[in-house]
Amino acid sequence: MRIIPVIDLLNGQAVHAIKGERKQYKPVKSVLCNSSEPLIVADAFHTQLGSCEIYVADLDAIQSSGQIDHKEILLGLVRMGKMSIMLDAGISTVENARKWLDAGVQKIVIGSETLPTWNSIRAIPEGLDRNRLVFSLDLRAGKILSSCPVWSSMEPLEAMEHLDSAGWKEVILLDLARVGSGEGLNTALIKEIRLNFPEIHLLAGGGIATIDELLQLKSLGIAGVLLATALHKGTIKQSQLSQLL
């Protein structure tokens, strides 16, 4: 099972995400390093945890706030060359996705939160290498979060059926109401998804706080988990991660 550290970018810094309330996000304080500078945080994930993969969420781009352009930070992470980057930056077109793939990002995340049209779930994987795409099924308290009315009216399992038929190979299940809370994942929903869509590589995030939760997720056949708060607080340590190999 893959352990994928997360960096949430906001106003040029790595921030601590709590329950999706982005106006309340503050720069990270971490046992891994003494900085919220994104490249330093990324280097700490690599050197202290042995991470070879990282998920980066550009929250300014996702919110379309336009306050900060994180292009140079993102390209800096690419130039580090230490970890493959999974980028979530509000990308919703083949053209924009291809730009970042050409720049050296390994995988592009397409999130339900920012996907404007229903047809995009087929158009995007038809126009790009499916192995370099990940769909993020963004939830808030179990309900799909999206600006597209078709998405927001669906139940998660119904959405998974459409993603499966459209050829998506990797899907993130991310409940923003649980992020940074330590409340744990919705394992009942995860079990249903694994039962009904065993061929999809399922990643999950939001609220994981202990190694026991990770071991349970591994037993369910989860392909990987997104982690941030538990790593920064040290409640999940590098020495424990070897149990997941």
Per-residue pLDDT of 154-198, as tens digits, reads: 999 999 999 999 999 999 999 887 786 667 788 999 999 999 999
* The pLDDT value given to residue 140: 87
pTM assigned to the model: 0.94
Run of H or E residues at 62: helix 59-62
- Nearest Cα neighbor of 115 from 85, 84, 140, 136 is 136
Structure tokens at 208: 């994981």
Q: Where are the domains of the chain?
A: 2-244
* The pLDDT value given to residue 233: 93
Task: Give the position of tokens 């999974």.
Answer: 86
Note down pLDDT in tens along the chain; length 245 residues.
999 999 999 999 999 877 656 677 889 999 999 999 999 999 999 999 999 999 999 999 988 755 678 999 999 999 999 899 999 999 999 999 999 999 999 999 999 998 888 889 999 999 999 999 999 999 988 899 998 999 999 999 999 999 999 999 999 999 887 786 667 788 999 999 999 999 999 999 988 989 999 999 999 999 999 999 999 999 999 999 888 87
Q: Which residues share a beta bridge with 61?
A: none
- Nearest Cα neighbor of 128 from 83, 88, 93 is 93
Are β-strands 2-10 and 13-16 bridged in parallel, bridged antiparallel, or unpaired? Answer: antiparallel
Each residue of 48-72: pLDDT tens digit? 999 999 999 999 998 875 567 899 9
128, 176, 209, 238, 244 from 45: Cα distances, Å: 29, 22, 17, 10, 17
Q: Give the distance from CA 160 to its chain's centroid.
A: 17
Report d(CA 239, CA 245) in Å as an integer. 12
The CATH architecture of the domain made up of 2-244 is Alpha-Beta Barrel (3.20)
Q: Are 136 and 130 in contact (CB under 8 A)?
A: no
* The pLDDT value given to residue 182: 67
- Nearest Cα neighbor of 94 from 67, 113, 117, 63 is 117
Report d(CA 29, CA 179) in Å as an integer. 16
Task: Give the position of tokens 């306050």.
Answer: 67
* The pLDDT value given to residue 200: 97
